[in-house]
Amino acid sequence: MIKPIYSITPFTLLDYPDHPACILWFAGCNMRCLYCYNPDIVLGKGKLSVENARDFLQSRKSLLQGVVFSGGECTLHPSLIPLARIAKELGYRIKVDTNGSQPYILEQLWQEGLLDYVALDFKGIGQKHRNITLSDTFASFANSLTVLQKKAIPFEVRTTWHANLLSVEDMDTMVTYLEQQGYEGKYFIQYFRNGVKTLSPLPYTNSRLDPIRLSTEKIKVEIRTT
């Protein structure tokens, strides 16, 4: 029996805007982000099957409104779409957390009516993206951004920031890039979590950004602290 899911967070008020939800953490990822704080999920193997997840969702449908598919990278798994169908049949709203490396999966989910919200991780541009993720997937991220905008899929863009990996100038460039791609809305910055196990050891940092200075007329930068 295939077991794509590493674990389940049974309840969250933080991960799906305005909806009580659960999180299904899919094992494995095609990136190796230096600051990743889910190394066990990224490097580990799944422990729960689609059937296990279905039974859980069935048991919680009167208590929850949403399900978050996260990871790892959930869009790598062939079982994501069948599981999304199950969740939608049970009445759940569906949010996908993704690194944007599989734009065609996002498009298929949307075409089937299986996608209500997306959190798109913006790692960096060009060589910065490669340095942080140890992968050559920026073009796929760019395609995902295009898909989300052309299909008018509700989504947010977010970046994890460590001053050793992305400078303030890099962040300016990333905001400009989003503007050039036609993005309008909020851009969430999450500071690196000191003292947490990550894929690669990174030095302590207390550096902070000025969201007002980074913001533009079309893009509002916000610091996400939870």
Q: Which domains does the chain have, with CATH numbers?
A: 5-224 (3.20.20.70)
- Complete DSSP assignment for 102-128: -HHHHHHHHHTT--SEEEEE---STHH
Query: 89, exposed or middle or buried, with CB in 10 Å at 0-12, 13-18, 19+?
Result: exposed
Q: Which residues pair with 188 in a beta bridge?
A: 158, 222
- Complete DSSP assignment for 14-56: SSSTTS-EEEEEE---S---TT-S-HHHHHS---B-HHHHHHH
Instruction: Please list, in sequence order, all residues whose beta carbon lies within 8 angstroms of the beta carbon of residue 62, skipping any fewer than 6 positions away.
Output: none
Q: Return the pLDDT at 126.
A: 96
Q: What is the pLDDT of residues 178-212, one digit of tens each?
A: 999 999 999 999 999 999 999 999 999 999 999 99
Radius of gyration of the chain (CA): 17
Q: What is the pLDDT of residues 101-131, one digit of tens each?
A: 999 999 999 999 999 999 999 999 999 999 9
- Residue 213, SS3 per DSSP: helix
Q: Return the pLDDT at 41.
A: 98
Q: Return the pLDDT at 1.
A: 76
Question: For the chain, which ranges sit under pLDDT 50?
Answer: none
Instruction: Please list, in sequence order, all residues whose beta carbon lies within 8 angstroms of the beta carbon of residue 133, skipping any fewer than 6 positions away.
Output: 31, 32, 33, 99, 123, 124
> 184: closest CA among 223, 152, 140?
152
Q: Taking the model in full, what pTM does it have? A: 0.97
The CA distance from 25 to 108, in Å, is 20
The CA distance from 73 to 41, in Å, is 9
Q: Return the pLDDT at 118.
A: 98
